[in-house]
């Protein structure tokens, strides 16, 4: 009897996991369908309910998460083309949701050299 109850508990847990996987696959197929139609708009999350004391605050209002200076606009930087060199000077590393991962990053890559990252 106890073995049967144990199997039922494990089966219930497996069903819950399967339900979660099914929901994720449904989200993926919905996004892929929208992308195919050219209608997908990425949802940006700017609030947090994670229990860390920031409920309802935007990313810009939280301490140590905003960047001073002009607003960040993708593609607004200056591009200078030089042979075999990729270099970023004093740029922030920000997630699509607005989380500031690194405030001031320098990145340099010379052709076949190994990558060098320096965080200041």
The pTM (predicted TM-score) of the whole model is 0.37
Element (H, E) at 103: strand 100-110
pLDDT single digits (tens) 57-97: 444 444 445 666 667 777 777 777 777 778 888 888 887 77
pLDDT single digits (tens) 9-66: 999 999 999 999 999 999 999 989 988 888 877 665 555 554 444 444 444 444 445 6
Instruction: Tell me if 54 sits within 8 A of 64, measured CB to CB.
Output: no
**Burial call 2-24: b when 16+ CB within 10 Å, e when fewer:** eeeeeeeeeeeeeeeeeeeeeee
């Amino acid at each position: 009897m106890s073995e049967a109850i144990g199997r039922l508990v494990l089966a219930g847990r497996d069903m819950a996991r399967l339900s979660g996987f099914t929901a994720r696959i449904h989200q993926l197929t919905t996004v892929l369908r929208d992308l195919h139609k050219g209608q997908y708009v990425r949802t940006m999350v700017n609030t947090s309910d994670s229990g860390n004391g920031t409920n309802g605050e935007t990313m810009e209002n939280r301490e140590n998460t905003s960047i001073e200076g002009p607003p960040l606009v993708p593609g607004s930087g200056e591009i200078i083309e030089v042979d075999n060199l990729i270099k970023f000077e004093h740029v922030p590393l920000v997630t699509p949701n607005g989380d500031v991962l690194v405030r001031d990053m320098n990145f340099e890559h010379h052709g076949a050299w190994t990558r060098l990252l320096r965080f200041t």
